[in-house]
Structure 1
Amino acid sequence: MKRSVFAVLSSALCLVALQAAASESIPLADAREVFAQARSICEQDAGKLWGVSLCGPIMLVDPKSRQLIANQADANGALKARDGVFVGLLPAEQNVANTAVEWSGTRWTQMLWPLHAEPETRGTLIAHELFHRIQPQLKLPKLESGENAHLDTLDGRYWLQLEWRALARALQAGDDAARRQAAADALLFRAERYRLFTDAAAQEQELEQNEGLAEYTGVMAGNATEQARVQAALHDLSAHVGSPSFVRSFAYATGPAYGLLLDRYAAGWRQQLAGGLRFDATLRQALASETPADVQGLADQRALRYDGAALRVSETQRDIQRQQVLAANRRKFVDGPVLLLPFQHMKVQFNPSNLQPLGEHGTVYPTMRISDDWGVLEASDGALMRSDWSAVTVVAPEASAGSDLKGEGWTLQLKPGWRLVPGSRKGDLVLEQPAQ
């Protein structure tokens, strides 16, 4: 009996200590400042953008300690009130990212600590993530999630970056005629990309409707003046040029740029999203800009005005390196022995700017964290996600017994009852669930 009481007291003291550590990891005053800025953003918006208030539950999470501070209590009472905020720990099965999450009976805007120190940049991030929390309320059409693998090819990257350059020129134009011409050039470069890759329009639309609209919201609601919004959109168009991959990051750049142009030339476009509106098609219609019969010829001609020749040289050099990465990934995740982890109720955390498409096999995520019914996988040196997001593959481990497993660049913590069994090929392994 005494040992039980001691264990309860010890647990309680540990919880108090951890909650105290949370306030040290994320200073309460700094957290309250973020919450105040978020409240100011959503009150200034007052539902004007989407007809829905951006205000709601927010949690700030320290990714190393998983300690959190929230602006309100959770539905299940896991958090404890302290000095006007609520503190606690995020369980291991929950991933940590800038996103919307369901946890402890509440839908949250989750943001990683520390946030940007500069208020305008921080405001854009806050409003972006506030959008993700309300996104299900907007009744947007369900679109097929595309891999956007074409945006890792030489031509895909080339025409996308020319589109970004034209959008930047449009946003900076000093008169309407120049703005319209640059916007038409952006649409032309996109049309040439869609001519080369027939599935590109549908694949790109899904991410633009998701992250593109979120970043547009961040730019609009997170910045108080038109000049600040234009500068934020221009920053997005330049900041992603250096990303190792565009396949999951391109819409952060195109979303705000097209959104600002549509606000100017296509009033009411946000209300048309439920009908499957596409940014480029709507802007083309608003500008009365017809797609030319010879898209390729005119695109090549206009590319010269955006330093296309130098861009083609640099992208050709990059593509040589990409082919080497593809070959290495095939040897690692296709030809060699692998461990296959099918998904049950998967939650994933990853870096959207460094993905490596691997054709019909899926996409290699250099770093990722996956939690599922079977446990937690953390990969620091690559994991192959299937195109349909039904399973993930890592290099097979040398030892396949136990609950804490390690392999080449990954660790796996299995829950009781789960185990690894031989796969269809010699050396392959697959995760097997407990007997029912």
Structure 2
Amino acid sequence: MKSAMWAGVLSVTLSFAPSGAIAAEATTKTPDESAISPERAIQVFALARTLCERDAGKLWGASLCAPIMLVDPKTRAILASQADADGALKARGAVFVGSLPAKDNAANTATHWSGTHWTQLVWPLPEDEARRSVLIAHELFHRLHPQLRIAAVEGGDNAHLDTFEGRYALQLEWRALATALQADDAQAQRLAIDDALAFRADRYRRFPKAANDETALELNEGLAEYTGVMVGEATPERRLQAALHDLRVHVGDPSFVRSFAYATGPAYGLLLDRRAPGWRERLATPASLYALLSATVNIDEAVGAQTLDQRATRYGGAALRESEQARELARQRVSADNLRRFVDGPVLRVPLQHMNIQFDPRNLQALGEHGTVYPGLRISDDWGTLEVSEGALMKPDWRTLVLVAPSKKTRGSEMSGAGWKLQLKSGWELAAGDRAGDRVLKRVVK
């Protein structure tokens, strides 16, 4: 995002894995697009070392310290904190330099590259030191995550958060969480927590898959952002302000489908730190942040009987409902256009086998049983590299990507269509699909 907004990318490597397998992240952009210098890279590496040494393994029982590679997405230049195992990087003073191959995406993520497990960060990092520290600690968590005793939960699509009911209940929950974090007495805090939990419980009643899908993303991105806040900020007051910042800033996201956990993770984490010390040790068995916080509240029967509308009045529910109803009308028009482009019209189906995908988690557009539309993305797979600037439909099983079919016959290794460009490897071709005008990307049969 610009200034205080989030405008990062997720980068994921999958081999026939569903969306819940994601272990990567969003980042804060800044207007500073200058190239990476060794001096600035060394400053980033020193800050990361300071953060992980200050934590000293206290938060998760293991060190967050890690090899770091900074990547300039424009030039694909790499400046790293150490040598790689396979020798692709060359020493230049106190840093190691090289170039990221075209098949790999530049993103804030944990990644295996050239024989080494890295924390990868996209240049430029936020100019604001607090936001930069939170981002670095967030990404250090992603590299450590597979080593921690945190139960894996499959899922994470969260298409319900692009509906009117899902968005309305989520934003009421965010407002109640912010009130709870700032409450100056135990009774006020408990009331706000009860409201937040009630808004989420209503969402779970309306959408049967919501509990599983939200938990999957919160145990990944939510815990990562909580770690960013806890390790990136040095004092309780600054951590509180960082958590409130996350609750505010994501209100402006075009879609909450993939970004909501960046807001809820720190809020639930800080409240659990206050009310249930030791909660992180209970993540070894499947447990949601919602369930853990619910266990700390003895619900007052009079409060518990209040209707959601009564609770919503405490958080500006009427005005929020009106704005979300207007947004829903606009969403329906977008969905109708997406159905025309990616379902009813002629399409190109692209198989996904060992993909590495990069996208912005803030602007995804749910399309019901058909999947999710990604306005922009970059994918590398066995067949080559694809860049999309005007939308593509990801099927729910993440095994097929659907593009608008090219309007004319294409030959050679470079192909393009409406808002997409494909660099094709040898051994692959476009063939006729099942419907008139449809195409499919497939291996050449010899």
State the TM-score, normalized to the length of structure 1. 0.92
**Cα deviation code 1:63-117 (max 9, x no counterpart):** 1111111101111000011120111100000011111111101111111101011
Q: What SS does the aligned partner of 1:53 have?
A: coil
- The alignment partner of 2:307 has SS state of helix
Deviation at 1:181, TM superposition (A): 1.4
**Map 1:353-368 → 2, pairs under 5 A:** 353-368=362-377
In the alignment, what sits opposite 1:235? 245
Q: Secondary structure, in 3 states, of the residue corresponding to 1:287?
A: coil
1:320 to 319, 329, 339: 329
Mapping for residues 173-322 of structure 1, pairs under 5 Å: 173-289=183-299, 298-322=307-331
Q: Which amino acid aligns with 1:386?
A: K
Q: CA deviation at 1:399?
A: 2.1
Which range is displaced more, 132-141 or 232-241?
132-141
Distance 1:46 1:86 in 2: 26
Q: Deviations over 1:169-205 (max 9, x none)?
A: 1111122221121111111111111111121101100
Post-superposition CA distance 1:283-331 (Å, at most 9, x none): 1111223799977x52211100100000000000000000000000000
Structure 1 counterpart of 2:342: 333
Matched residues in 2 for 1:290 and 1:409: separation? 55
Counterpart secondary structure, 2:112:
strand
CA contact (8 A) 2:88 2:98 kept: yes
CA apart distance, 1:417: 1.2
Q: Identify the residue that residue 15 of structure 2 maps to in structure 1.
A: none
Amino acid at match of 1:251: A
Distance 2:246 2:117 in 1: 28
Out of 166, 170, 195, the position equivalent to 1:160 is: 170
Whole-angstrom CA distance in 1 between matches of 2:300 and 2:350: 48
Q: Distance in 2 between matches of 1:401 and 1:292?
A: 70
CA contact 1:349–1:369 (8 Å) conserved in 2: yes
Normalised to the residue count of structure 2, the TM-score between the two structures is 0.90
CA RMSD after TM alignment: 1.5
User: Which structure 2 residues correspond to residues 21-40 of structure 1 after superposition, within 5 A?
Assistant: 25-40=35-50
Count of aligned pairs between the two proteins: 412
1:349 aligns with 2:358: yes
Is the helix fraction higher in 1 or 2? 1
Q: Distance in 2 between matches of 1:310 and 1:151?
A: 19
Alpha-carbon distance between aligned partners in 1 of 2:302 and 2:89, rounded to the nearest angstrom: 59
> Which residue does 1:10 correspond to in 2?
none
Match of residue 55, structure 1, among 59, 65, 71: 65
2:154 partner SS: coil
Q: In structure 2, give the amino acid aligned to 1:416.
A: S
Aligned to 2:251, the other structure's residue is in SS state coil
* Correspondence 1:103-122 to 2 at 5 A: 103-122=113-132
Structure 2 residue 117 is matched with structure 1 residue 74: no
Judged with a 3 Å threshold, the aligned counterparts in structure 2 of structure 1 residues 290 and 79 are, in CA distance, closer, same or farther, namely farther
Quick check: 2:335–2:367 contact (8 Å CA) kept in 1? Answer: yes
The equivalent of 1:9 in structure 2 is none
Aligned mates of 2:61, 2:163 — CA distance in 1: 39
**Higher RCO (CA-CA < 8 Å; seq separation 6+):** 2
Give the deviation of 1:136 after TM superposition.
0.8
Aligned equivalents of 2:154 and 2:204: distance in 1?
17
Q: Report SS of the residue matched to 1:253.
A: helix
SS at match of 2:127: coil
Secondary structure in 2 aligned to 1:241? helix
Partner of 2:411: 401
**Does the CA-based 8 Å contact 1:284-1:290 persist in structure 2?**
no
Q: Give a deviation string over 1:16-63, Cα, whole Å, max 9, x none.
A: xxxxxxxx8201111111100100000011111111110011111111
Distance 2:117 2:227 in 1: 19
User: Counterparts of 1:92-103 in structure 2 under 5 Å?
Assistant: 92-103=102-113
Deviation of the 1:434 alpha carbon: 3.7
Contact 1:265 1:287 in 2 (8 A): no
Aligned partners of 2:157, 2:174: CA distance in 1, in Å? Answer: 20
Letter of the structure 2 residue corresponding to residue 306 of structure 1:
Y
> Could you tell me the percent identity over the aligned residues?
62
